[in-house]
Amino acid sequence: MAWFARFLRIAIGAGALMLLVSVGSPSIAQQVNPTASSVKEQQLLQELNRVQGRVSIPDQRSGLLEQPAGREWREFRDVTLHWIGGIAILGMLAALIIFYLSRGMVRLQSGRSGRTIVRFTAFERFVHWMTATCFIVLALSGLNITFGRSLLLPLIGHEAFSEWSQWAKYAHNYLSFPFTIGVVLIFLMWIVGNIPNKVDVEWLKRGGGIVGHDHPPAYRFNAGQKAIYWIVVIGGGLVAATGYELMFPFYLSGIEGMQLAQVVHSIVAMLFMAAMLAHIYIGTIGMEGAFEAMGSGSVDANWAREHHNLWLEEENARTGANNARAQPTAAE
């Protein structure tokens, strides 16, 4: 009898267990059913525009599983940005080459007078070259982040690419500080002289002298230089603000803010690089005598008369010199 009672207890226990399993299994089956679960996921996405769970680690942001805007951002980062950068930079390079081949260097029409006039002080030149050097390193290291994987990696291999990318990333982070200081100093140093005025309208109407062979009047900075100044101040300000937002993630904003910062940073950076190519062109092979202004700091008086006659008059009045009638010596 005792054995029968033990058998009965085991049988009832097993039956109860089977009942429990059969009751519980439909919900387990539903959870692992891929179709059913994706339907739920879809509903969640539609309702909340994200799928978020709970995590036990301190950083609660890691609980975010899906954010559809992230896919749009990735599409921008991996495709659209490459087109924007490629068109802006290669397009500008092509335009400058065509322009140089058709127009050539803007020559000093009256030759050199042999008399020079100070255009930029040592401090101004230091700030310019510090900012320019940082800009070039930031541009190259930034381009590596965008294009390095597809263009450089196949050429130099994984090991060299990761080593170079690591150093490029350090450079991008650390040189951002002197670059920002440079942009602030440029803003303060040259704001007087870069406020647009009536003379700029006339200068632009006459093609600035670089398109034709005209020499429209200009003060210390002509409309083209003023445009470069504001591109540096506004573009530099934007890349700095968004760059620091990316460098110190999630301090200032959530994931959407980070995505927006990356979009603004990268688009402004590409356009900025294209604009600086034009600036470098005019400062070197595009115009005779221009490089000296930032090289030695002094320009020939005839150069000043041809390109910045109103500034030369101001300088003559200030210093009591008379370079306004500086005449050619070499061409005489």
Where does this chain bind ligand HEM (CB under 6 A)?
A: 77, 81, 135, 138-139, 142-143, 145-146, 169, 172, 176, 179-180, 239-240, 243-244, 246-247, 262, 265-266, 269, 272-273
For ligand HEM, the closer of residues 40 and 74 by Cβ is 74
CB of 42 to ligand HEM, least distance (A): 30
Helices and strands counted in the chain (H then E): 14, 4
CB of 91 to ligand HEM, least distance (A): 16
Sequential DSSP letters for 133-163: HHHHHHHHHHHHHHHHHHHTHHHHHHHHHHH
For ligand HEM, the closer of residues 143 and 218 by Cβ is 143
CB of 85 to ligand HEM, least distance (A): 7
Q: What is the helix (H) or strand (E) element at residue 298, kind and residue range?
A: strand 298-300
Residue pointed to by tokens 């039956």: 15
For ligand HEM, the closer of residues 240 and 287 by Cβ is 240
CB of 295 to ligand HEM, least distance (A): 23
With a CB cutoff of 8 Å and minimum separation 6, the contacts of 73 are 259, 262, 263
Instruction: Name the 3-class secondary structure at 259.
Output: helix
For ligand HEM, the closer of residues 208 and 243 by Cβ is 243
What are the tokens at 166?
A: 């690591």
CB of 154 to ligand HEM, least distance (A): 18
What are the tokens at 216?
A: 């429209």
For ligand HEM, the closer of residues 110 and 176 by Cβ is 176
Q: Give, in order, the Cα–Cα distances in Å from 315 to each of 173, 242, 300.
A: 41, 40, 13
